[in-house]
A and B are shown apart, each in its own frame.
Chain A
Amino acid sequence: MSTLLHTQRPFLGYGLGLRKEHYTSVLDELPQVDWFEIVSENYLVEGGKPLHYLDRIRAHYPMVMHGVSLSIGSTEALDLDYLNALKGLIDRVQPAWFSDHLCWTGVQGINLHDLMPLPYTEEAIAHVVERVQRVQDLIGRQMLLENVSSYVSFCDSQLSEWEFLREVAERADCLILLDINNIYVSAFNHNFDPYAYLEAIPVERVWQIHLAGHTRQDDLIIDTHDHAIADPVFALYAAAVRRYGRVSAMIERDDRIPPLSALIDELARVRDIAERQLRGQVA
């Protein structure tokens, strides 16, 4: 029996990705943000400003950790140095949970520093499941896996993306960070129904939601995180709240970063949409 079935999904509220541009505003203003997500790799350093601000902001806010280098789908060996460093940061931050992406980031010793998609095959499921289990054993807790935006589809794929994600999560007994914008982007790029995706993901495994902006480039949508959240993504988010209930949600913004107050306004809209859905009203 999985540990999951005994665990109540925690609800942190509505959060933001912590970005260095906002360190001093956050500490000076202590804004009404329920929690922050940090990019783990930004704090895998030995000292100085990153850890200085991290510790001080952590003293005021709940945090979760979000990694970009686990490369859970790579056929390369797991990077144990990275995992040990991550474990050290988890001990320091005491996050509500930690997450990374259902992707690979390189082979043959090279890190491409991108979230490369996997083919949706039985072989890839078995490979990822075994590695997630090892990571969870090593870190000593369940992890969340996030769906990525993708621009390529492989001839090898036998399953849909949502079948792939669900199978991995259930067999590895891990949790899911559902990126609503990534679903929207991939649905557009690969011609599938984003609402069917939501329906296929098991409710109890979704512990966190990402929202972000994207950019249309001719015949593709690119997940750029440099704009406000688009209206169709808000609509998809409303459907997600109807299906999954109260899930900790946050905005990722990584480029053309606006003042903190603009993100807090955007977060108010996220909160408003979710709370209306939960009260059974129409957004």
Chain B
Amino acid sequence: MSRLGELQRRFQRCLLTPPKDLARPWVSTGGRAMPERQLAVYVHAYPARLKEALVSDYPALHRSIGDEAFDGLAQAYLEAHPSHSASLRHFGARLAEFIANEPAYRRLPWLAELARFEWALGEAFDAPDDPVATIGDMATIAAPDWPDMAVAIHPSVQRLDLRWNTAGMWAILSAEQPTPVTASEGSAVPWLVWREQLTTRFRSLEPDECAAFDCLCDGGSFGEVCERLTAFIAAEAVPLRAATLLKAWIGHRLIGAVRTGHRDAAHKVTPSECAMQPLDRRDAGRNISPR
């Protein structure tokens, strides 16, 4: 171990597990402040900075439990999962999992799901700008090619099953003037979180739509999607329902490249005509501040 390496380990240990008395023999007494005061700047700044990153990634969760409780959560999470990434962007990735496994949060059973939902919004926010399929692309597919056609789901799309009224709570908590919100549990409802152009969106799925979409996600062909739909509706209604769903998914920019048995279609990004209300209240980006 080099002398420099030893110093860095010692210093880092003071930040990760701060001792009560911060006086350290390797800190010079020559500065304006006492050695323990010198170190205290770093020891206090470390959890504050990482908590700030969590607040910016989980603003609704922060509001839902309040700053003091969030402080405790951030501290416990930081101790369990210090950052291993060059970017603060990834620091909060395991918060939902942490909450779910932490006995202290059993009295807030909806909290882990809210964290999972909010993280999904963040994942959609800066997912790759892959090209999306258009209705025009579909028109070029010959009738015999339809059953074998498969698609890539756009990388911004996240599929979640939510047991709580999480999306509704998130919307209320994200309002300019949040009103009181009550968590209520039901049976699991399938949701999509994704980004259309620059706007992050979410919506729930009907049971037949969910079965069809999950089939596509698993690499299923359009023919297999139609087969899945027969479990929900009469066989003669399936082609129209399947076509309607696909058209809606394309309109919402959920579908990336389309593959038929013969060739890979090339797709350009075109402006969406979809006029859904934007649900995105997030900022236009994160700032990771230098000091």
**Residues of A near any B CB (own CB < 8 A):** 19-21, 23-24, 39, 41-42, 44-53, 66, 68-69, 73-75, 79, 81-82, 85, 101, 104, 106-116, 118-119, 121, 123-124, 127, 148-149, 151-157, 188-191, 218-220, 222-223, 225, 252, 254-255
**Pair A48/B126 contact, Cβ less than 8 Å:** yes
* B46 sits at the interface (CB 8 A): yes
CA distance A189 to B283 in the complex (A): 36
**Pair A110/B128 contact, Cβ less than 8 Å:** no
CA distance A112 to B12 in the complex (A): 8
CA distance A123 to B1 in the complex (A): 13
- B78-104 CB mask vs A (1 if < 8 Å, else 0) is 000011111111010000000000000
**Minimum CB distance partner of A43 in chain B:** B285
**Pair B32/A190 contact, Cβ less than 8 Å:** yes
CA distance A272 to B265 in the complex (A): 57
**Pair B33/A154 contact, Cβ less than 8 Å:** no
Can you list 5 A-B pairs, Cβ within 8 angstroms, ordered by A? A68-B290, A115-B290, A123-B4, A189-B33, A220-B32
Q: Knowing A52-B198, A69-B87, A114-B46 are in contact, say whether A155-B287 is a contact too (CB < 8 A).
A: no
Q: What 13 additional pairs, Cβ within 8 angstroms, besides A47-B128, A252-B290?
A: A20-B283, A48-B129, A48-B195, A52-B198, A85-B86, A113-B88, A152-B27, A152-B35, A152-B38, A152-B39, A155-B27, A220-B33, A220-B37
**Pair A219/B33 contact, Cβ less than 8 Å:** yes
Q: Chain A contacts of B49 at CB under 8 A?
A: 113-114
- B41-63 CB mask vs A (1 if < 8 Å, else 0) is 11001100110010000000000
* B278 sits at the interface (CB 8 A): no
**Pair A104/B41 contact, Cβ less than 8 Å:** no
**Pair B288/A20 contact, Cβ less than 8 Å:** no
Q: Chain B contacts of A42 at CB under 8 A?
A: 285-288
**Pair A49/B284 contact, Cβ less than 8 Å:** yes
**Pair B28/A153 contact, Cβ less than 8 Å:** yes
**Minimum CB distance partner of B283 in chain A:** A20
* B182 sits at the interface (CB 8 A): no
* B271 sits at the interface (CB 8 A): no
Shortest beta-carbon distance from B196 to chain A in Å: 11
Q: Knowing A110-B12, A111-B83, A219-B37 are in contact, say whether A46-B128 is a contact too (CB < 8 A).
A: yes
Shortest beta-carbon distance from B66 to chain A in Å: 22
* B262 sits at the interface (CB 8 A): no
Q: Chain B contacts of A66 at CB under 8 A?
A: 290
Q: Chain A contacts of B32 at CB under 8 A?
A: 188-191, 219-220
**Pair A24/B284 contact, Cβ less than 8 Å:** yes
The 9 closest A-B pairs by CB, nearest first: A75-B5, A47-B129, A254-B289, A20-B285, A45-B126, A69-B86, A46-B128, A48-B126, A151-B41
Shortest beta-carbon distance from B225 to chain A in Å: 27
Q: Chain A contacts of B46 at CB under 8 A?
A: 112, 114
